[in-house]
């Protein structure tokens, strides 16, 4: 009855750039320059994040067109629907958008917060690469690319925290 109300968006995947494959054979997350707020992503950036998430989770039966409405709802503030079979794929796309925005904000604030510490997320069994790099501190220029190269998890929950010089000396001592 209300078919006219549904907002159908045309999806064109030919213009999306290819996803870079890392030395471990897993796709590397895309970076969206200039993004500071995840809600401000363009339609093509959302499709690229979904394309990466599908490759990362090895969900060959899904396409970005199938998930774009769910990602739009999540970015609009709707709660995560755990019972949907693709909720973790949409969650990883959401995560890569948020991490890209965080990376851009870190670039702007690196004079005040020049250090970055990698922290493990709330997982039952995190990957070996993350366990080895837990609480490692790097300069904000180097930073960390999350998910880490060599991560074997389908859902990465690692995160990074910026530190001041004072905080770094407190942690190091």
Contact of 152 with 133, CB cutoff 8 Å: no
Question: What does 50-78 look like in DSSP terms, one character per residue?
Answer: HHHHHHHHT-TT--HHHHHHHHHHHHTTP
Q: What is the pTM of this model?
A: 0.82
**Does a structural domain hold residue 160?**
yes
Q: Are residues 114 and 63 in the same domain?
A: no
* Count of domains observed in the chain: 2
Residues 122 and 154 in one domain: yes
Residues 98 and 66 in one domain: yes
Q: How far is CA 146 from CA 20, 63, 77, in A?
A: 14, 23, 23
Task: Kindly state whether residue 61 falls inside one of the protein's structural domains.
Answer: yes
Q: Does position 84 have pLDDT exceeding 80, yes or no?
A: yes
Domain stops at, among 76, 109, 142: 109
Quick one: pLDDT band at residue 55, thresholds 50, 70, 90?
A: very high
**Residue numbers of the domain that contains 41:** 23-109
Q: What is the pLDDT of residues 111-146, one digit of tens each?
A: 999 999 999 888 888 888 999 999 999 999 988 888
């Amino acid at each position: 009855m209300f078919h006219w109300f549904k907002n159908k968006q045309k999806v064109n995947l030919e213009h999306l750039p290819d996803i870079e494959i890392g030395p471990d054979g897993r796709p590397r997350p895309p970076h969206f320059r200039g993004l500071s707020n995840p809600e401000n992503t363009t339609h093509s950036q959302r499709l690229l994040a979904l394309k990466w998430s599908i490759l990362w989770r090895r969900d060959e039966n899904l396409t970005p067109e199938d998930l774009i409405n769910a990602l739009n709802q999540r970015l609009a503030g709707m709660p995560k629907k755990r019972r949907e079979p693709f909720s973790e794929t949409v969650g990883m796309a959401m995560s890569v958008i948020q991490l890209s925005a965080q990376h851009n904000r870190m670039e702007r604030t690196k004079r005040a917060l020049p250090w970055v510490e990698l922290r493990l997320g709330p997982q039952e069994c995190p990957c070996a690469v993350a366990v080895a790099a837990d609480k490692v501190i790097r300069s904000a220029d180097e930073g960390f690319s999350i998910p880490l190269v060599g991560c074997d998890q389908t859902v990465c929950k690692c995160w990074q925290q910026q530190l001041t010089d004072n905080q770094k000396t407190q942690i190091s001592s």
